[in-house]
């Protein structure tokens, strides 16, 4: 928690305590913009992953897009909201341009974000984001089909900021 308030009643008075944020309260997923060529289902494309602070210090928001390499037309877009607990547990939601909204849950260990998303009723997937010390990022996305996992996207972004 970035701030929390606790009211304590003592002798008929309410005392208010406010605690400052500690380093472990804030996610250390880097705020950054990543862009790289990628293969989008057999089509040359440009993948872009933008990580920003959320509305709370425990949140990170990822805006992701895939654009056709030749025309620049959007092929796919998604947004993830990740809540990172001090112990590394992650919860949140993913929404995308295909109309999907998936719950997600996973872990953050300081260098890797690993999440499972979806449900048995919709679609099950998992994504891993490995953040490199030089600012780079490697991402793999998998989906479960007929009891086995299939990788449908892998992108390695350099540590150079495209903006």
Record the pTM: 0.81
Instruction: Give residue 72's pLDDT band: very low, low, confident or very high (50, 70, 90).
Output: very high
pLDDT, tens only, 105-129: 999 999 999 999 999 888 999 999 9
Domains and CATH numbers, the chain: 25-157 (2.40.128.20)
> Can you list the positions of beta strands (E) in 19-100?
32-40, 43-53, 59-68, 74-84, 89-96
pLDDT, tens only, 2-56: 333 333 333 343 333 333 334 445 557 899 999 999 999 899 999 999 999 999 9
Q: How far is CA 61 from the centre of its chain?
A: 6
Give the span between the Cα atoms of 143 and 44, in whole angstroms.
21
CB of 100 closer than 8 Å to CB of 38: no
Give the span between the Cα atoms of 136 and 130, in whole angstroms.
8
């Amino acid at each position: 928690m970035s701030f929390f308030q606790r009211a304590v009643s003592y002798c008929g008075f309410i005392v208010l305590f406010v605690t400052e944020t500690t380093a472990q309260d804030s996610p250390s997923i880097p705020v950054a913009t990543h862009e790289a060529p990628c293969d989008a289902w057999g089509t040359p494309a440009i993948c872009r992953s933008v990580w920003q602070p959320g509305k709370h210090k425990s949140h990170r928001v990822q805006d992701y897009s895939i654009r056709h390499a030749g025309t620049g037309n959007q092929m796919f877009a998604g947004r993830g909201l990740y809540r990172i607990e001090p112990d590394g547990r992650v919860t949140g939601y993913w929404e995308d341009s295909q109309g999907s909204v998936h719950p997600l849950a996973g872990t953050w260990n300081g260098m890797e974000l690993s999440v499972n998303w979806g449900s048995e009723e919709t679609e099950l997937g998992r994504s891993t984001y490995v953040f490199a010390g030089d600012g780079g990022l490697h991402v793999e996305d998998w989906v479960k089909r007929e009891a086995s996992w299939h990788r449908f996207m892998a992108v390695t972004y350099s540590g150079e900021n495209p903006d």
